[in-house]
Structure 1
Amino acid sequence: MEALIDYLLQFGQLNQQQVDLVKSKARVVDLKKDGYFSEAGKIANQVAFVSDGILRVCYYNNRGEEITRYFIDEHNFAVDLNSFSTQIPSSEYIQAITDCRLIVFSSEALRELSLTIIGWDGIINKITSKSLVEKVNRISPMLAEDAKTRYLSFLEKFPHLANRIPLSLLASYLGITQSSLSRIRRNI
C-alpha cells in the first residue's frame, strides 16, 4: 500500500487524513497467473495499481488470433480507460501473466475520493496523462520498425520485463511469430 501512496504523492499532495482515506477505499486483490482483471464484453468498473507482478492487455483480431497490445508492470495502474470512463463494454482483456498483487479501487470508491479530497481529480488527471503518453510512446515507434529493431527497443525500454514474460506473449506484442523471435534472439 505504501508504494501506491508514494506513487500518488509524485502527482500531488495528500495529508495524513487523506492518505488514510485513500487506504480505506482500496482493497488488496491477489490475482493468479492467467486470471483476468477485466474482460472484453464487460464494463470496466474498477482500477488496479499493480503492487507486484505483470499484467498484459490483449484482444482477439478478426481472425481469432490473440494479440498482446502492451504489458503493465509494478507501480503502474491498469484499467480499460475507455470502458471505465464511458461505461461501455470493453474490447480488451487485462490478464495476469504472473501471479499479481493488485490494489483495487471500485468506481464508487474513486467517486467518493473525488468528492472528498480536494485535488484528487488533479492527481488522477496527471497520472492518466502520463499513462497515455507512455502508451503512445510504446506503440507508435513499433509501427515503423523491423522485428529485430522492435525487440532491441523492447530490451532497451523494459530490461526488467524481458525475462519475466513468456516468449509467445512477447512475440505477440512485437507482432512476430515465436519462431522469428527465437531466431532474432539467437542472432543477437
Structure 2
Amino acid sequence: MEAFTNYLLQFGHLNEQQIRLIHSKLTLRHLPKGAYLSEAGQVARELAFVVDGVLRSSFYNNKGEDVTHYFITENHFYVDIDSFLHKMFSMGYVQAVTDCELIIIKIEDYEELSATILDWDLIFQKVANKFLIEKMNRLKLNIMEEAQVKYELFLQNFPGLVNRVPLVYVASFLGITPSSLSRIRRKK
C-alpha cells in the first residue's frame, strides 16, 4: 500500500486520516500470468495500480490480429477511463503478461473517495494527465518509420521490459513482425 500512497502523494497532499480512508477502500489482487483484468464488451468497474508485474493492453484489428497497444508496469495505474467514468463498453483487453500483484479500487469506492476527499478528483486529474502524456510518448514510437529506431527507443523508454515480456508482444507494440525484431536484436 505504501507504493500506492507514495504515488498519489506526487500529485497532491493527503493527510493521515485521508490515507487511512483510502487504504480501507483498497483490495489486493493476484492476477496470474495469462489472466485478463478486463475484456472487450465489459464495462470497467475497477481501477488497478500495478504493484508488481506487467499488464498488456491489446485489441483485435480488422484483420483479427491481436495488437499490443501498450504495457502497464509497476507504479502505474490502469483503467479504461471512458468505460470506468461513462459506463461505456470497453473496446480492448488487459492481460497479465507476468504474474501481477495489483491494488484495486472499485468504482463505488472511487466515487465515495471523490465525494469525501476534497482533492481526490484533482489528484486523479493529474494522474490521468501523466498517463496521457506517457501514452502519447509511447504512440510516438509507432510513428517512427525505421524499425531499428523504434526498437532502440523502446529500450530507452522501457528499460528491462524486453526481458520480461514475450518478444511477439514487443514486435506487435512496435508494429513490426517478430522476424524483423529478431533480425534487429541479432545486430545489437
Q: TM-score, normalised by structure 2?
A: 0.98
Distance 2:166 2:124 in 1: 32
The residue aligned with 1:15 is 15
Distance 1:160 1:35 in 2: 22
Q: Give the aligned residue type for 1:175.
A: G
**How far did 1:86 drift?**
1.6
The residue aligned with 1:135 is 135
> Does structure 1 residue 38 correspond to structure 2 residue 38?
yes
The residue aligned with 1:59 is 59
Q: What stretches of structure 1 move > 4 A for 4+ residues in a row? A: none
**How far did 1:145 drift?**
2.9
Where do 5+ consecutive residues of structure 2 fail to align? none
**1:67-146 matches, cutoff 5 A:** 67-146=67-146
Identity %, equivalent residues:
52
What root-mean-square deviation, in Å, do the aligned CA atoms of Structure 1 and Structure 2 show? Answer: 0.8
The residue aligned with 2:178 is 178
Aligned residues: 188
Distance 1:163 1:144 in 2: 23
Deviations 1:13-61 (A, max 9, x none): 1111100000000100000001111100101111000000000100001
Distance 1:118 1:85 in 2: 18
Q: TM-score, normalised by structure 1?
A: 0.98
Q: Is the 8 A contact 2:141 2:153 kept in 1?
A: no
**How far did 1:141 drift?**
4.0
